[in-house]
Amino acid sequence: MLLVEDCVSDAELILRCLRRADCEVESLRVDSEEQMRAALAARAWDIVLSDFNLPGFSAGAALALMRGAGFDLPFIVVSATIGEETAVALMKAGAHDYVMKADLARLAPAVRREITEAAQRRELRRAAEALRDSEERWNFALEGAGYGVWDWDIESGRVLYSECWTAMHGFGVDEVEQSIAGRERLIHPDDLAPVRAALADYLAGAMARYKNEHRARCKDGSWKWVLDNGKIVSRAADGRPLRMICTHVDLSERKRAENALRELNDELETRVDERTRELRQAMAQIIESEKLASLGALVAGVSHELNTPIGNMVLAASALVDQLGEIGAAVEGAKLTRSGLAQALAECREAGAIIVRNGNRASDLIDSFKRVSVDQTSQRRRRFDLRGTVQDSLNALGAVTRRARATVELDIPPGIEMDSFPGHLEQIVNNIIMNSITHGFEGRGGGRILLQAALEDGMIELHYSDDGRGIARALQHKVFEPFYTTKLGQGGSGLGLAIVHNLVQAIFKGRLRLESEPGQGVHLYFSFPAQTPYA
């Protein structure tokens, strides 16, 4: 097999697929016109498989090269992306079939079919050449190959059958009606119309050769799948077809193999669906566990945050009580002066202002925590302001970011409204910030985080960046894999970014892209609808 393919992994996948289907394959991979020309000249090939588009080369060019060099080999296009019009054009140019890389289960049957049909074509050519010398030698060659033959005199309607043809269906040589009408009576009623249409198209010149698969009746009344492959071997002076010869091949074994393969594919698809459901359930459980762990850390962080304003309030209230006690004592001792009273009132006002300011701060923190905790535990969908929800997450993480000496800047305009799941969005923000603190700022004494967002044509375009250590290119394809971590045994679960990736795709129906260079921080680009589609 000559394989025209520039991607080594795709070539290996094709070979594995064929060998898994019990095809014995000896192959050579080429990816340029020069290599293919040399390969065609070096040895004989049974079939050519070609990718549609290669750098500096293509399936169309490969097909033209092969045909221009005088080779009549089966040519199958195996491509990941090929439109119907392009496929039809390639078939008209001489390609025998095309198979999508996403449906490689069709490849082995197609290869077997085309190699079989190529053998039939070779036999047909040899038979036609032998016919000029000896009808008997021609028939002997086809019979020896196991092909039945029917010979149609088009003008008279007479059909002659070879011994192999009649034996294939259990008839004696003289037990088959030798006419085109008799032949049609042996074709399954459901297949007769397509057989007639294909034959009419070929005789009208719409097809390069006549080829048709159908069921034919045997002497015992059973039906057998067969392949007819033939051509006109004689024409009148005005071009009218006079004689047509067709080979006749038993497809029973191939049909049984195709049915078995189809059943196997159905079974495999069922298993894949079951495994996919199990994986989704497992991921949902992981997300829930991580969410509860995150919420626990949030409670600890908010408690720490509340200590400062509450402590300030207690100190100010204590000072206020002491001041009022001094004023009361001065009044009782008739020692209160106007200036003393003014100073005492000023100090009381200052203490009251401290109490009010810190009380408001504590109230804001509690409100943020309430919103975050309700969103993350209920998983309910609602309308919310993007900036406000992200700010709530940052407020709840304040103690963590200050302890890590991480500065978080928010560049999200107010008024961007979402109809989605705020709890999951807060979980995303928490995880990516914690990832920066745990991995990006380690040993650096802090860092800077920037969160930017904009609304464009109904899509939220969110950009997260830090100025941390960055990620090596060799590791970037792994960071969204579950349980991948460089902090195993040091507090890293390897689930943070995997959960982020899963939430973006499964919940928000969006996309996530990573860009990073070592020493230049990390950039995460999120894109998802402002209104999450309903399932």
Q: What is the pLDDT of residue 219?
A: 93
3-state secondary structure of 467: coil
Residue 42 in this model has a pLDDT that exceeds 80:
yes
The pTM score is 0.38
Q: Which residue has the higher pLDDT, 459 or 146?
A: 459
| CA–CA dist 199, 210 (Å, integer) | 6
Q: What is the DSSP string of 5-24?
A: -S-HHHHHHHHHHHHHTT--
Confidence of residue 492 (pLDDT cuts 50, 70, 90): very low
The yes-or-no answer to whether 2-118 and 277-529 have a common fold is no
| CA–CA dist 415, 193 (Å, integer) | 66
Q: Using an 8 Å Cβ cutoff, are 495 and 444 in contact?
A: no
CA nearest 142: which of 128, 153, 152? 128
Q: Which of 70-84, 311-325, 372-386, 521-535 has the highest mean pLDDT?
A: 521-535
Mean pLDDT (whole number) for 439-467: 93
Confidence of residue 461 (pLDDT cuts 50, 70, 90): very high
Give 214-228 pLDDT, tens digit per residue. 999 999 999 999 999
Q: What is the pLDDT of residue 143?
A: 60
Mean pLDDT (whole number) for 366-384: 62
**Residue ranges per domain, the chain?**
2-118, 134-250, 277-529
Mean pLDDT (whole number) for 454-474: 94
Class level of CATH domain 277-529: alpha beta
Pairs from 329-337 (Cβ < 8 Å, separation ≥ 24)? none
The CATH number of domain 134-250 is 3.30.470.20:
no
Residue 269 in this model has a pLDDT that exceeds 50:
yes
Helix (H) or strand (E) holding 2: strand 2-4
| CA–CA dist 197, 203 (Å, integer) | 10
Topology given in CATH for the domain delimited by 2-118? Rossmann fold (3.40.50)
Give 188-203 pLDDT, tens digit per residue. 999 999 999 999 999 9
Residue 375 in this model has a pLDDT that exceeds 50:
no
Confidence of residue 212 (pLDDT cuts 50, 70, 90): very high
Q: What is the pLDDT of residue 284?
A: 61
Neighbouring residues of 505: CB distance < 8 A, sequence distance ≥ 6: 511, 512
Mean pLDDT (whole number) for 30-43: 93
Of 171-175, 286-290, 322-326, 424-428, where does mean pLDDT reach its minimum? 286-290
Give the position of tokens 């050579």. Answer: 28
Residue 153 in this model has a pLDDT that exceeds 50:
yes
Cβ count within 10 A of residue 342: 10
Q: What is the DSSP string of 380-418?
A: --EEEEHHHHHHHHHHHTHHHHHHTTEEEEEE--TT-EE
Residue 424 in this model has a pLDDT that exceeds 90:
no
